[in-house]
Amino acid sequence: EAQVTQNPRYLITVTGKKLTVTCSQNMNHEYMSWYRQDPGLGLRQIYYSMNVEVTDKGDVPEGYKVSRKEKRNFPLILESPSPNQTSLYFCASSPRVGVYGYTFGSGTRLTVV
Amino acid sequence: SQELEQSPQSLIVQEGKNLTINCTSSKTLYGLYWYKQKYGEGLIFLMMLQKGGEEKSHEKITAKLDEKKQQSSLHITASQPSHAGIYLCGADGFNDYKLSFGAGTTVTVRA
């Protein structure tokens, strides 16, 4: 089944403890991106990647890192999580920007205490 | 990045009635997407519009993009409980590769 898989689905962590949220797609998509969704603020893009080894900042990149060493994987790294990073996170992928739709993962609900 | 305004913010409709959601852009839309989200869950792709005047339908949902490519509408005919959820419009940037979203419209369908 073609899909975007995020792990974990739920995570509670403490301030300052490094964590990684994984994202993997099995559709050979070139484009991948990360979003956070917060009440009243909607979906905001954190980082995106046009292809392997090509990443760029979205609208809210502060406090996050990403890497794209393989086409299928696009992990989101929080080096030192803070409570304001408590949010619902989504990973998405697309064959090509502006040509096809985006497939979203099921989401990761992160709580930083 | 694009700024997208959705209206209304929420609406309640009686089962069987029609409803319309609007999405307005501050810039010309390069690609416009409609998604549906159940609360706290992932986004389900509904439709993509690219050309001015384009209209697409899937089951009872129709989306249109105006000729100027700055406004889109999503219309649901004869709403059902399965249509309840949050509808989001998204758009690619014209000169960048950022995907922006509207704040969403929460639809409640009353039996």
Do residues A42 and B104 make contact, with C-beta atoms less than 8 angstroms apart?
yes
Give the nearest partner residue to A42 out of B33, B47, B102, using CB atoms: B102
Nearest CA in chain B to A51: B97
Scan residues 4-43 of B and list those with Cβ closer than 8 Å to A: 30-31, 33, 35, 40-43
Q: Which of B73, B66, B2, B68 lies closest to B34 in space, CA to CA?
A: B73
**Distance between CA A85 and CA A29 in Å, rounded?**
27
Long-range contacts at A53-58 (CB < 8 A, ≥ 24 apart): A56/B97, A58/A33, A58/A34, A58/B1, A58/B98
The percentage of chain A sitting over the pLDDT mark of 70, rounded to a whole number, equals 99
Average pLDDT across chain B, whole number: 90
Cα Rg, chain A, nearest whole Å: 13
Mean pLDDT of B15-41: 90
Six token digits for residue B47: 């439709």
Enumerate the residues of chain A whose CB falls inside 8 A of the CB of residue B47. 101
Q: Is the pLDDT of residue B96 over 80?
A: no
Write the pLDDT tens digit of every residue in A59-103.
899 999 999 999 999 999 999 999 999 999 999 999 987 777 889
Alpha-carbon distances of A67 from A23, A61, A76, A94, rounded to whole Å: 11, 13, 8, 17
Mean pLDDT of B41-60: 91
Give the nearest partner residue to B45 out of A40, A98, A101, using CB atoms: A101
Q: Is the pLDDT of residue B63 over 90?
A: yes
Enumerate the residues of chain B whose CB falls inside 8 A of the CB of residue A90. 42-43
Query: How does strand A10-13 pair with strand A108-112?
Result: parallel
**Distance between CA B93 and CA B21 in Å, rounded?**
21
